[in-house]
Structure 1
Amino acid sequence: MTKLTCFKAYDIRGRLGDELNADIVYRIGRAFGQFLKPTTIVVGGDVRLTSKELKSAVTNGLLDSGVNVIDLGEVGTEEIYFATSFLKADGGIEVTASHNPMDYNGLKLVREGSRPISADTGLADIQRLAEENNFPAVTQRGVYKQQSVLGEYVEHLLSYINLDNLKPMKLVINSGNGAAGHVIDAIEAQFKARRVPVEFIKVHNNPDGTFPHGIPNPLLHENRQDTIDAVLANKADMGIAFDGDFDRCFLFDETAQFIEGYYIVGLLGQAFLQKHKGAKIIYDPRLIWNTIKLVEENGGEAVMSKSGHSFIKEKMRAIDAIYGGEMSAHHYFRDFNYCDSGMIPWLLVMELVCTTGKTLGQLVNDSIDTYPSPGEINSKLADAKTAIARVRAAYEKDAVSVDETDGISIEYPTWRFNLRSSNTEPVVRLNLETRGDKKLMTEKTEEILALLRQ
């Protein structure tokens, strides 16, 4: 029995060839069918060159398990989330490697109601069945059909905002040659049909699995330049850039400044609280002060959850939170089956710019000045555990509080930091913020990194 190394904590991801190939993906389809015993599953794939072949393999695995398959074609992850619930299917599979390098691909799996399947809710069982590769003979294959739910999905997206609130504005939208282009075109068509005065300036809008302009990952500085240039050249009100499967979007203000995901969480919290007084908003432990302040000022209740989509979705369901945000630019919405979406955030921010009469920069710059942060800093370490323990020992004795919700968060009156090992790669992530003191921010960041990397 060969061990499959492509199974991770939240999804399946691997290097093409040895870690992930059509045979392995076929077995995952069979295992998914055997574990979930579903009647119908929706499948889709991103624009990577291998996604079509792998989607076909997982589809055959499902069909050979007697499962009916609805193929949505080339779509982003959130279209699978939407379709699974909208079509009342028993689960969904998206073939995607999101922002991973060219030679990778993967699968994201959900069950009925678009609930996540991660290591502790079935992924480990699916892995075991795929590794054993001991499936019953094919007796009756499932039925295959192709279907689009794009119209219904776009209609759902637009339900989050009031189109009458939108004023004339110019948006630069960079789909990164990823899967987002067709959705942007569909939203633009709706805006035109309904005479919404918003102009789209589209950059790298056409899907291209060779990614001629780099892997769609706006967290990489070199991948931001095209969006920055387009915002400045067109004097746009806002820039929007997506990752490969567009479950995350990244925003640039009117001066083309990249806005860290952390500050967008507070902004979206505000947007929801203006429409839903007293609602609960979830945030993750990495950076917290700005979110708590804005949620409480707007009459909401801020609730902390461990990072990671399965924890946040579970917590949102448990307390009926309307919105949850991670500083990594994953944003979760109750009315979107508690799933993350990269389309809903920019629509809400665009509406907020129109209703407040402020630019995006004016909406976030106070927060950035009040709680400066250098952004997440990753360190590849041979022995992460010992390194984290060394930092903890140095800082915990004088701390106001020490929290272990996710990694270790240590708080002082004027600054705080969080250190955690990544769930998806061999790195330790540092996040730090201060109360309005950029000098202290730089000082403490350097101090902790030196100790960590010793």
Structure 2
Amino acid sequence: MDQLAAIFKSYDIRGKVGTELTSEVANKIGQAFGLWLPKNGPVAVGRDMRPDSEDLATNLIDGLIAQGRDVWDIGQVTSDMIYFAAGKYGLAGGAVVTASHNPSEYNGIKLCADEAKAVGLEFGLSEIRDMVIKNDFKPAASRGKITQKDITEDWIAHVLSFVEIDKLKPLKIAVDAGNGMAGKIFPVFEKYVPFKVTRMYFELDGTFPNHEANPLKPETLIDLSKTIKKNALDGGVAFDGDGDRGFLVDETGQMLSGGVMSSMIAEYFLQKYPGATIVYDARNSKSVPELVNELGGKSVRSRVGHSNIKKMMRELDAPFGGEASGHFYLRDNWYADSGIIGILVGLYLMCLSGKKMSDLREQYTRYEAIPETNFEVVDKDKILSSLKEVFADEKQDELDGLTINLNNGSWFNIRPSNTEPLLRLNAEAKAKEDLDKLVARVQQIIQT
């Protein structure tokens, strides 16, 4: 029972296939989800390209129809398309079988309710978990029906609505799909934009034969950076496995961080909606709230995670929210995140500016920063307590994990992973020397 409960994470469901997440469990999740959904109506179900995703999706669908829910089977899609489906077509909810960037032995399920509302432990997922564990399902009087739907063209039209297409330029870019779902969807998008694309790893393969589909890991960008520099391209794009995150890489092979892209896109939406509220997560660069406030907007800090960001954006009617991890949320996308929309807006801003991508990276970079760094630890709480004690004289908050702001402008956030036995460290400073000193000091405490 504990093992079954453990696959229900803060924001979604993830586990090892065959031992933790099985066909039987997927069926029960489908039944529980169908019973829990607050609104009547069909449910969209999609899946990624992992070897077991089709089987898990089939069983999830069978559970939904067993409880009388009609299902739109939308096939292989990026995760952001499930949110679009629920919002655009007024469905009761959506589910996509994917484990995002996790290794191939894992799989998972992301859920949303009507209007693409995020389903997490604080809204729905704990009730779904409890129903699955109790396993006291009674079939509905009549089974639901399955309808096959292809929403790709509608989705691409929606993506393109965020920019003025005639202002795009024929940028030469390399796109690394990481053998993930962007490899299926991006070619459709290509038909409508003038970009000259060098495709990399577009073949769908959930075993990830070329590299892990996680752009936050610098080693996964090596091939893309080489291709950009070898062919003198204007830049590149790196997607994660389920395509709901995308990062820009400039012509020198340097990635634009989540903080840089959050700042760029925030400025774009503040130009469209002066004085608007912009939401950013607790790990994101200090440059984001600084820029937002300078431009006359209101910056609001949120806990990490799509459930938290989406909820806050809805409450504040915020047009944009950005996470350091590369999730970019948009009010006009039912407050949901999208990899391809974020990438398109970034490339659009490059076209409008007439600048090189590296110039934009430098323009929006105010701090020296480390990439998010993970530490495997035995006792997370003990380490957090030690850090609070050592930095007792500095400004602290526990909005999400522990954030400490030093008097010299440096800061760090350290928080437990919601899906793995790790502590995740993010840190920034005005000067590289100050950053190195801060990180070394924190690392010493963690590893003592």
TM-score band by shorter chain is over 0.9
Tell me, what secondary structure is at the counterpart of 1:218? Answer: coil
Match of 2:91 in 1: 89
Offset of 1:209 from its aligned partner?
2.6
Contact 2:258/2:284 (8 A) holds in 1? no
Over 3 Å counting, the alpha-carbon distance change for 1:304 and 1:212 in structure 2 is same
Name the amino acid aligned to 1:404: E
- Please list every run of 5 or more consecutive structure 1 residues that lacks an aligned counterpart in the other structure: none
Match of 1:227 in 2: 224
Tell me, what secondary structure is at the counterpart of 1:140? Answer: coil
- Equivalent of 2:411, from 397, 411, 416? 416
In 2, Cα distance between the equivalents of 1:3 and 1:287? 33
In 2, Cα distance between the equivalents of 1:265 and 1:302? 12
1:118-176 deviations in Å (ceiling 9; x for gaps):
11211111111111211114531101110111111101100111112212311111111
Match of 2:428 in 1: 433
Offset of 1:2 from its aligned partner?
7.2
Match of 2:327 in 1: 330
1:17 equivalenced with 2:12 (yes/no): no
Match of 2:36 in 1: 35
Name the amino acid aligned to 1:381: V
Tell me, what secondary structure is at the counterpart of 2:211? Answer: coil
Match of 2:370 in 1: 374
Contact 1:396/1:410 (8 A) holds in 2? no
Contact 2:264/2:364 (8 A) holds in 1? no
1:360 equivalenced with 2:357 (yes/no): yes
Tell me, what secondary structure is at the counterpart of 1:20? Answer: coil
Contact 1:46/1:95 (8 A) holds in 2? yes
- Equivalent of 2:382, from 372, 382, 386? 386
Normalising by structure 2, report the TM-score. Answer: 0.96
Over 3 Å counting, the alpha-carbon distance change for 1:376 and 1:137 in structure 2 is closer
Name the amino acid aligned to 1:25: A
Name the amino acid aligned to 2:376: K
In 1, Cα distance between the equivalents of 2:280 and 2:172? 30
Name the amino acid aligned to 1:256: G
Name the amino acid aligned to 1:52: E
1:326-345 deviations in Å (ceiling 9; x for gaps):
10111111100000110111
Match of 1:269 in 2: 266
Match of 2:283 in 1: 286
In 2, Cα distance between the equivalents of 1:439 and 1:325? 28
Is 287-296 or 77-86 further displaced after alignment? 287-296
1:230-267 deviations in Å (ceiling 9; x for gaps):
21122111210111111111221111112221221111
Over 3 Å counting, the alpha-carbon distance change for 1:299 and 1:123 in structure 2 is same
Offset of 1:377 from its aligned partner?
1.5
Contact 1:267/1:364 (8 A) holds in 2? no
Contact 1:287/1:432 (8 A) holds in 2? no
- Equivalent of 2:396, from 384, 390, 402? 402
Offset of 1:396 from its aligned partner?
2.3
Tell me, what secondary structure is at the counterpart of 1:99? Answer: coil
Name the amino acid aligned to 2:183: G
Over 3 Å counting, the alpha-carbon distance change for 1:215 and 1:377 in structure 2 is closer
- Equivalent of 1:447, from 436, 441, 444? 441
In 2, Cα distance between the equivalents of 1:128 and 1:285? 30
Tell me, what secondary structure is at the counterpart of 2:80? Answer: helix
In 2, Cα distance between the equivalents of 1:301 and 1:294? 10
In 2, Cα distance between the equivalents of 1:44 and 1:287? 30
Match of 1:244 in 2: 241
- In the TM superposition, 1:22-171 aligns within 5 A as 22-36=23-37, 38-171=40-173
In 2, Cα distance between the equivalents of 1:3 and 1:420? 23
Over 3 Å counting, the alpha-carbon distance change for 1:2 and 1:265 in structure 2 is closer
- In the TM superposition, 1:289-368 aligns within 5 A as 289-368=286-365
In 1, Cα distance between the equivalents of 2:258 and 2:3? 36
Is 212-221 or 162-171 further displaced after alignment? 212-221
Offset of 1:3 from its aligned partner?
5.3
Contact 2:235/2:253 (8 A) holds in 1? yes
In 1, Cα distance between the equivalents of 2:209 and 2:398? 42
Tell me, what secondary structure is at the counterpart of 1:262? Answer: helix
Contact 2:78/2:185 (8 A) holds in 1? no
In 2, Cα distance between the equivalents of 1:157 and 1:16? 33
In 2, Cα distance between the equivalents of 1:287 and 1:254? 24
In 2, Cα distance between the equivalents of 1:153 and 1:322? 19
In 2, Cα distance between the equivalents of 1:222 and 1:419? 23
Tell me, what secondary structure is at the counterpart of 1:291? Answer: helix
1:398-452 deviations in Å (ceiling 9; x for gaps):
x2x22221122111232111121122221112211112x1011011100111012
In 1, Cα distance between the equivalents of 2:411 and 2:166? 42
- Percent of aligned pairs sharing the same letter: 37
In 2, Cα distance between the equivalents of 1:446 and 1:18? 39
1:209 equivalenced with 2:206 (yes/no): yes
Name the amino acid aligned to 2:382: T
In 1, Cα distance between the equivalents of 2:86 and 2:79? 11
In 2, Cα distance between the equivalents of 1:17 and 1:181? 26
